[in-house]
Homo-oligomer: A and B are copies of this chain.
Amino acid sequence: MQTRAKDRKWQITQLGLDLLQTRGYENFSYQDISTALGITKASIHYHFPKKEDLGVALCGAIQDWHESLFRKIQQENTSNAEKLNHYIRALLEYAKGKNKICPLSSLQADVASLPANMLPALQALDRHELGFIAQLLANGRAQGEFSFPGETSHQAAIVVLTLKGALQYSRIHGSALLEPTLDQLQSLLIA
């Protein structure tokens, strides 16, 4: 059984996610991973022959995280406002530690140098996330819980983009503006 291989692959993926969120895809190297794990670059290439392969695996890990989180949120018996807050807290938790941002924001920033394989995956992840939040807002508005003008997809864009932007902004300027801005963001949805 290849549980050990799976563990190693998992280790590399987790470390890759961390580096993606801190340095960006083009700015971390196999060397970074190998020294952190105490093995050589060649060993990393055994598990992920090309960096592109690791990149695709990172997209898959993000997708797994999305699916797990979204399923959990949908199943819980709470208001849509609480569901939205759950999503926000989960993303903040995912970027916890120091100087991490949303992995999708990171990939977006490097899109010009990204391997071609990764673009469709990135697009699908973005759409999936935005669609989920739009559905949350639509449900909340239909039940009189939320009140905002315009289409839900545009309001969802404001929520998601502000959240991820605030995370990125906090990395430069500290977290003083993070929580109050997110509170403000949610207060804009209340009737």
Count the copies. Answer: 2
Q: Mark A100-111, 1 if CB is under 8 A from B, else 0.
A: 010001101111
- A108-B169, A109-B105 known; A184-B122 Cβ under 8 A: no
Q: How large is the interface on A (under 10, 10 to 19, 20 to 34, 35 or more residues)?
A: 35 or more
Asked, given contacts A162-B161, A162-B165, A164-B165, whether A150 binds B187 with beta carbons under 8 Å apart, the answer is yes
Main secondary structure of the interface of A (DSSP, over half): helix
Contact between B108 and A172, CB atoms less than 8 A apart:
yes
Given A161-B161, A164-B165, A184-B154, do A171 and B111 touch, yes or no (CB 8 Å)? yes
A126-B169, A154-B183, A161-B166 known; 5 new pairs, CB 8 Å cut-off, are: A106-B109, A122-B172, A154-B181, A157-B177, A162-B165
